[in-house]
Amino acid sequence: MSIDVEETLVRELHEVAAGLEVPSMPRLPQEPPQARWIRQPLLVAAVVVLIVAAVATVATSRGGRELQPAPPAPSPTRTGSTAELPRTAPTVPYVLDQRLYVDGEQVPGSWWSVEAGDAGWIAIRTDNTWWWGRGAQPNAIEGQADAPLVISPNGKYVAETLTEDGQGMVTGFDTGFSGEGMGGIPVDLGDTTDGSAVTVRAVTDDGRVIAQGTGTAVLWLPFVDNSVVDLTRTVPGQQVLAETPAGLVVTDGDGGEPYLAEISDAGEITRIGAAPAHDDLISSPGGEWLAWTPEGTTGGEVTSIRSLEAQRVDGTGQVTLSAPDGWAFRVRAYAWEDDDHLVSPVVGARGERMARCSVGLARCVLVDAD
């Protein structure tokens, strides 16, 4: 004899409900409207649970097998294609085929490279003159710099070494006030022929400047008290390579292991994390990711490379970013847009294009930008 399990279950539920004695609700004080319906979803939820359980039991009894849960929806993976990379023009200044683009506009002139932060950018033209700007309007930087200029990660401060009337100087300016000068300090700039030349190594987001050579290392505090700290006494042997949103990049002596650090006004360096051995290293704007070229890959006559390495600042999530097929990254032209995306010119048989990479997807695509 067949038994209708569904009818039996319904009948039994009615019998149980009929036997329950539900006391009348006590008289409650007046309460706000929102307090009344808080209980109702709980009662409804309980009934729904009973109904779902009953339906599951009936389905199991009738079908002779358990229902399998629906498979989870696919999610983007490091190698996945479920998420698309934007192919729009880069949101940061970039140079493509010696043309500089800022905020979607081409800046007049022929250019070698550009470095930028949110507050401003610096770039060098093919005639080796330096320029700066906050938008697409370029401003000439007067004088002949003795070495490449350095901009703070936020793009607010620029510093350089130069010679005025035979005296070496470390000086700089603020991009936020129409190039207002920061003053300057006299420094023995050493000799470029024997490798002792002093150059600006780093400018922090609050305007502290570090200049260093083989025998000289100073911390200049133009916005504190304009004092100078001799780093050869406070942190002897430490070589400052750059400032990034993740911190200073420092090595323990020439050729030593690199690490991330902070520096105090007294010139004391505090290690805050490790950094990979590299030729070039850049940090994402939020200081979450590092991208780099492995040590020994971009020296000499190397002008392009097929891939970049990336990892979180804490050392996890390491991934290789390969340029699109048939293309290679132009050396030292890569820049972070945000804490996921990195852009770079790429070179190939068909000339030069821009590419965008995602560390989350571990993938790079060509960008529709000119």
Residues 191-217 pLDDT 10s: 888 888 999 999 999 999 999 998 899
User: Which segments of the chain have a pLDDT < 50?
Assistant: 1-3, 5, 9-10, 16-18, 20-82
pLDDT score for 34: 36
Cα–Cα distance measured from residue 240 to residue 202, given in angstroms and rounded to the nearest whole number: 7
165 in helix, strand or coil?
coil
Average pLDDT of every residue of the chain: 83
**Can you list the alpha helix ranges (DSSP code H) found in the chain?**
5-18, 33-36, 39-63, 231-234
Query: What is the phi/psi pair of residue 276, to 5°?
Result: -70, 150
pLDDT score for 141: 94
pLDDT score for 53: 41
341 and 335 in contact (C-beta within 8 Å)? no
Degrees to nearest 5, angle at CA 233 with 228 and 236: 120
Alpha-carbon torsion (174, 179, 180, 185), positive or negative: positive
242 and 260 in contact (C-beta within 8 Å)? no
251 and 257 in contact (C-beta within 8 Å)? yes
pLDDT score for 35: 32
Q: How far apart are the first and last CA of the chain?
A: 79
Query: What is the phi/psi pair of residue 183, to 5°?
Result: 90, -155
pLDDT score for 360: 97
Degrees to nearest 5, angle at CA 44 with 43 and 46: 65
Query: What is the phi/psi pair of residue 219, to 5°?
Result: -110, 120
pLDDT score for 11: 55
Distances (CA, A) of 286 to 118, 312, 321, 336, 365: 12, 11, 19, 10, 23
pLDDT score for 308: 98
- pLDDT, tens digit, for every residue of 221-256? 999 999 999 999 999 999 999 999 999 999 998 778
